[in-house]
Chain A
C-alpha cells in the first residue's frame, strides 16, 4: 500500500514540484499545507506516514512545527527542507526527532532518495 505523504511548503510551485516527484515515485500525497497552522491541523487529521517540511513558512518556522508534532507524539516521519546555510536549524531538527533533511537546491531524484530512506 502506498505510503501517505503530507507536503508542507508556502510555495505553490514547490508543493507542485514535490507532489509530482513523490507521486511518480509511488507515494500517495494525502495533503498539502501552505502554512504552519494548516500543517499542524492536517498532520493530526490525516496521520501521514511521512511529512516533508519546509522551514520558512509565513506564520511559523518548520522547526517549531516539528517541536509541536513531537510533543504531541505524532508518529509521522519528518523530512526537513531547508535553504543552504541553515546547518544549526538542521542540527536542532535532527535532535528534535526529524528523520532526515534535504538542502535546497535539490533535484527531485535527491528528494525521492531521502524520502525512500525514511
Chain B
C-alpha cells in the first residue's frame, strides 16, 4: 500500500486528485495539507511514501515544503504544476531542492484531461514510491568546463542523450562538465511536457557555457551547441541534403511504442541511421523502457553506448532496459559520464 499525502490549497484540486487516487487499490491517501508548513508537519506525522505537492500556496509555499522535508525526512515528492503557469522556474528550483518528479495538473483540455493525467499520475506514484530517498539529495559538484585539447581527427561526430524521471538533474550534472570548446553537437530527448522544455533550456543556458536551444524543424546541427527535443513532437535527424554532411531536425507524427513527444527511440534510431559508429550515446535515469530500442540500434551500428548506473539513477528503468538488451558498452555513475565522453574524443 503506497501512502500518499496530498498538498494543494485548492479544494477543487484536492477533490479531483483524491478521486483519481481512490480508483487505485494500491494507493492510500493518508492525509492532505493546504500549505507548505502543514505539508512538512503532516509528513513528519504520517510518514507518507509519496507527497503530491502544489507549489503555489498561501503563507508557506511548496518550495519551502520541499526544502524542509528533504532536509529532515526525505520523501519522494511529485510537484503538481499549476494550469497556465508561464514561469516554470519554481518547478526546477523544487527539483534542485530534491523533488523527484513533476506533472501538469488537469486543465480541462483533452490531453490535460482527468483521464490522461490520472494514468500518468498513478504510474508516477508507483515509480517514485520505490526511489531510494538518498538519491534525491543533489550533491553540488564543481563544474569542469575548462577547454580540452581536442584532436583534429575526431572519432565521433555527435553526442546523443535520452532521459526521463530524474533527467533534469542528471542532464545538468553531465552538461556542466562538458568543456566550453566541445566540438560536437549534443542532442537530447528528455521526457517533459512542452511548456516545461523551453524553461528548462533557458535555465540550462544560464548555468553552463554551451548554448541550449529547443529543437525546431529545420534546425541544422552545429558543433558545440546543445539541442533539446520539444515536448510536443517526436523529432528525428536526417541529412540536410544529398551532398551535405550536416544533420537537420525533422518532426514526425509516427508514434512509438514506449513514449512519445518526445520519443527517445525516435531520436536515437535516427542518430544510429545517420551517424552509425560516429555517435556516442547515453541513456540516463528514467521510468519505462524508452530508448532501449534506439540504444540497441546504435550499439549494432558500432556507436559508443553508455548507460547511467543504478546507484546514481533516480529511476533505473530506462538504463536497465538498454543494458538488458545487451546494448550498452559502459555503465557509469552520472558524475563520470562527461569526463568519459570527453576523453573518448582525444
Please report A residues at the B interface, Cβ cutoff 8 Å: 10-17, 20, 56, 83, 104-109
How close is B249's CB to chain A, nearest CB, in angstroms?
Answer: 28
A56-B344 Cα distance, complex, nearest whole Å: 14
Contact B336 A10 (CB under 8 A): no
B59-67, B126-134, B140-148: which lies at the interface: B140-148
The answer on a CB contact under 8 Å between A104 and B344 is yes
Q: Report the separation of the CA atoms of residues A14 and B147 in the bound assembly, to the nearest whole angstrom.
A: 9
Of listed A10, A12, A105, residue having the most chain B CB within 10 A: A105
Which A-B residue pairs are the 7 nearest by beta carbons? A105-B344, A13-B148, A12-B146, A11-B149, A105-B343, A104-B343, A11-B148
B339 close to A (CB within 8 Å)? yes
Assuming A11-B346, A83-B346, is B340 touching A106 (CB within 8 A)?
A: yes
A1 to B342, CA, bound (A): 32
Q: Which residues of chain A have C-beta atoms less than 8 A from B48's C-beta?
A: none
Is the Cβ of A107 less than 8 Å from the Cβ of B148?
A: no
Does B27 make an interface contact (CB < 8 A)?
no
B29 within 8 A of A: no
Would B336 and A109 count as touching, CB distance under 8 A?
A: yes
Q: Which of B142, B339, B344 contacts A108 (CB 8 A)?
A: B339
Given contacts A107-B336, A108-B336, A109-B336, contact A20 B343 (CB under 8 A): no
Does B166 count as interface, using CB distance less than 8 angstroms?
A: no
Task: Flag if B342 contacts A13 (CB, 8 Å).
Answer: yes
- A85 CB to closest chain B CB (Å) equals 10
| Residues of chain B lying within 8 A (CB to CB) of residue A15 | 146
